[in-house]
Structures are given as C-alpha cells and as structure tokens.
Chain A
C-alpha cells in the first residue's frame, strides 16, 4: 500500500506518461494537503506539474526561465512552512541551479521535493544540452539529499507519495514520455532506501535503476529460460541512502554484480554500489554499465539504451560475458576481510 493510500494498477497508468502520473498524484496529494505548492520555470506543461497549476492556480508559481530564483524561492516557501514541489528538466535542476539546490535547500535541510523530468538520455533526440547523465552523481554528493530514480509510472507514484511523507529534501528523476510498465500495481512494498528484488537468483546479481530496471527483469527471464542462469535482479530505486544490506547480501550469495543505469558510469548507481562492495571487504566480480565518460550520442531513447548496453539485449550480452569469465569462487570469506 502506498504511503498516502493512493494506489494504481497497470490499467490505470497504461495510457499515461510517467510525468502525467506524477501530475495526477501531485493533484491528489494537494487535494488532501494544503501545504503543497508547485514551482516550475516555464516547463509546467512538459513536466506535468502544470496539472497542479490548472487545478490550484493560487498554489503554483511559474517563475519564467529562471531556475536559480526558482530553487531559492522554493527554499523560502519551505521556510514559511509550505511543502514545495519543484519541477523542471533534470539537466537544469541538477546543474543550472545546483548551488541553490545545495546551499539553499540541502544545507538548510529544507522540505523541498524536486521532481526532475527528462532525465538520463530519455530526451535522446534533444542532444547533450538536454541529456542529463550527471544528476545522480551531483545530487548524491549533497548531504541531506535523498535521491530516487523510479523504474516506471507506478513506482513514480509511490516515490512522489513517499517523498511527501518524508521530511527533508528529495530529488526524484523521471524520464520523458512513457516508461515500460514494470509493476502491475502499487502495493509491492515501496520504501525509500529499500531495494526491491524483481527476480530471484544465485548466479549473478543485476542491480539497476530507472529504465534499466524493466530491461534487467526482462533479461533475467530470458537468461533463465535460454541459458539456465539464475539471475537476481534488484531494482535500486533509491540511490541515496542506498540499500547496503541488499548489496552485501548479493555479494555473499551471488559473488558477481553488474549495474545498469541511464547515467554516466562515474558517480551514479554503479559508483554507489561499488562503494558498498569495496567497503565490505568481500571479493566480488563487478562491472558498471551506463553512459561511459562521454556525452551521449543523439537518437531515440530506445536506440541509446541499445547503443550503451542497458536495453534487454545489452544486459543479456553483459551477463553472458561475465558468466563466461573465469572467476575464483570459494566459500571461505574469512581470508578476504
């Protein structure tokens, strides 16, 4: 059951983009909670926070194309006792106004919810100025900030509600357009900081977030049928605080981990997972897949997922490659700490 009691099924969300689901949830939350206000910087329509504006024009501020002022205003609104939801493209939320987010919101630990759309390469055709493959790295380096990358629309609905019920700054990155539907209904136990196991497995663990989570679950089913491989798939929707327990369990039980994300492989999900593995002192085969340290090519999002290897085929190939490698495996953990 979602935190605020708003539940959805795959039928409810079938014809809605992820951002439209966000807009719908926000209106429903705002109906019950007078403290919710919205802000956008001339992207009310694109981010769907405009749905709140249409319903409650008095509780919405379109600041024009001025992100620095927007995040400063959000800090002030939060200081006055309100709960601001701020929506713009991820690239602008995380970089154009990064210092306002860090200094005005995170440093002061204010109750501001940033719902950033068009994340990763989901606006692939728009090119590098509108891609955002750095936000997870930036946002998770801000103390006090919670960072979430939902896998689909239903998870976005859960994340937005959980963010409202959580006191403190939250950054949620969602994609442009429609996401493949991973979940059939809301009540699968979403909790900030708690990973979701999408597929059980003992040979290797795939840890994914955002668009890669659906692809990973899809790949695990194929690998089970075609290769007889037992692939554990973890949807790590919360990048910070990361679910250390799930990662260490995977290290110990599968001893091979590979991460997939629509983000630069430096500083995002893969790096966050690597931190936990290295600090655990346990040996583990490990690889990160995402955008290498370069600016992504232009193209359709699904083509970019394919190009960078986090679509279903890319995940299949990477898992097969890792499973084909020689890897020393023993049961004696004592000698590795």
Chain B
C-alpha cells in the first residue's frame, strides 16, 4: 500500500539524519565505505523503521525477523542505524575502528547488539540467509529473513550457488534486496566484471525479479510487500541506486567506495545532504 505523505516525510527525515550520522562515523573511524553506505540508506530506513519485526531491548528475541547485511563493508552506514534504534549508545560510534572498540569496519555479531550475522567477506550473506530461512521454515517459525547484497559481490560464485538453492528449495520467507549502485572498488561494475543482463540472470536462477528505484520509498515498499506476500518462489529486488547518494562529489564516483573525511569535508557532505532534503 502506498505510503502517506507524512510517512515519506518521516522516512526522509530519518534518512537525512542517518546519512549525516554515517558521515560523522566515517570521520570518527578515520575512513570508511561511505559510497555504498549512502546508496543503501532508503532501504535501511524501510528495513529498520517499517519492516523488521524486532525489539532492540531484546536483540536475541527468538521470533525476531533476521537481517543479513551481506555487503558487510557498509558497517559505517549500518552501525548508525543500530545506534539510532537503541541497540547501543550513540556515543559508541565515536569509537568506531578504534583499538579494542566493539565496532569495526565489518560488524561482528558477537560484539555488536542487533547484528544477526557477522559479515564482511563478500558472497557469504545469501547462503547464510538461505540457511536461516530454511531453518525458520523447518521449525514452523513465522519470522522472515531479509538479506541486503551489494551488486559487486554478485561476482562471487557462492551468490549463485545460493540463488540456485533458494529456488530449488522454493524459499519464500527470504527477501533478497540488491543495492545496485553500479560501482565497486576498482571501477563501474560493468567495466570490472559485467553483471548485465542482471535481471535475466536472476530470472534464469529461478527468482521473481522486481527492479525499482532504490531511493523511491513507494517503489521499494511495493516490491517488498510483493516479496513478503509471494508464495510461488524466491523474490529478489534489484534496487537501482546511486553510489554516494546525496553527496554531489561522491555520487556515481567509484573512488568514493572507501574514503576518509576531514572536518571541512564533513561539513561539505552534511551541507550536500541538507540541500538534497531541502530540495525534495
């Protein structure tokens, strides 16, 4: 069902704040995977403020929905969301990457409350999510597993092993979302290792594919609602996004897959983000 104008405004407010928190976290951490953290923020806002059935006061609650951050390098964008949800104090973000900190570049589920699966090595998330989903189905549990992949990690064979298995086992309690920002460390995905025809590949592996604008809440909500309701087989949502979204000099620039920010750049980033939200 389409979101109300008020809901969209609230999500925008949240995404604006979390994008700025991400910029601060990159600064505190001394560097981070900022481009892919900014590209996924609308998806993350919908996950954590609309869809996931979770209770931050009980991170290990048995019946919670599971979220697998397969693009584990997006820790600088993920941790601010978890802090905002109350899984841990906001000030912990200031220790990101510091020696003995619980927060490192790729979040460790045994150290960070709210992180269901420790990720960071690419291509691992979908197989684990599939195991979670099959485990829930086998035990008659109603909770859902959401998995957010990067597009670059779809170069990994293990993603396609899991895709083949998800359709073979007719898994319908797992919602797969791909942050298709088209950039990886060494350049555009289509230059480094061609993914297209990406939609056709997923279809060929037995998925129902929904391709959407990953910065448009209503398109995302339609696709996620569809994926939750679908009972014939697995659904993947290919969310077309912009790497470094909202920060002009980072947008669509693979050089900002990872980077550091000084205080001047932090100010500039935040101004860009504020301007973006003023304009919409």
Contact = CB atoms under 8 A, between A and B. Distances in A.
Interface in B99-127: 108-110, 116-118, 120-121, 123-124, 126-127
B59 interface: no
B110 A63 contact: no
Contacts of B158: 66, 68-69, 72, 100
B118 A73 contact: no
A108 B126 CA distance: 16
The bracket for how many chain A residues form the interface is: 20 to 34
Nearest to A107: B118
Contacts of B124: 72, 100, 103-104
Contact of B128 (A59, A79, A81): A79
Given A66-B164, A108-B118, A82 B129 contact: no
A99 interface: yes
A189 interface: no
Interface string A29-66: 00000000100000000000000000000110101101
A71 B109 CA distance: 18
B76 interface: no
Contacts of A81: 62, 135, 139
B261 to A, nearest CB: 29
Contacts of B139: 80-82
B131 A74 contact: yes
Given A68-B158, A76-B130, A82 B138 contact: yes
Nearest to A75: B128
A77 B137 CA distance: 10
Q: Is the interface of B mostly helix, strand, loop or mixed?
A: helix
Interface string A69-111: 1111111111111101000000000000001100110011100
B136 interface: yes
B262 interface: no
B198 interface: no
A69 B169 CA distance: 13
Contacts of A58: 138
A80 B136 contact: yes
A108 B109 CA distance: 7
A99 B121 contact: yes
Given A79-B128, A82-B138, A100-B127, A69 B165 contact: yes
Interface in B147-166: 157-158, 161-162, 164-165
Given A108-B109, A108-B117, A80 B165 contact: no
B93 interface: no
Given A61-B169, A79-B132, A82-B138, A73 B62 contact: no
Given A81-B62, A109-B110, A61 B127 contact: no
Nearest to A39: B131
B156 to A, nearest CB: 8
Contacts of A107: 108, 118
Nearest to B117: A79
Contact of B129 (A37, A76, A78): A76
B144 to A, nearest CB: 12
Given A61-B169, A108-B110, A69 B127 contact: yes
Tell which of A58, A77, A99 has the most Cβ of chain B within 10 Å.
Answer: A77
B133 interface: yes
Given A68-B127, A100-B124, A80 B132 contact: yes
Nearest 8 interchain pairs by C-beta = A76-B131, A72-B127, A80-B135, A69-B161, A73-B131, A66-B161, A76-B132, A68-B158
Given A72-B126, A75-B127, A103-B124, 20 more contacts: A37-B138, A61-B169, A64-B164, A66-B161, A69-B127, A72-B158, A75-B117, A76-B129, A76-B132, A76-B134, A76-B135, A79-B117, A79-B128, A80-B135, A80-B139, A100-B158, A103-B121, A104-B124, A108-B118, A109-B110
Interface of B: 62, 66, 108-110, 116-118, 120-121, 123-124, 126-136, 138-139, 141, 145, 157-158, 161-162, 164-165, 168-169
Interface of A: 37, 58-59, 61, 63-64, 66, 68-82, 84, 99-100, 103-104, 107-109
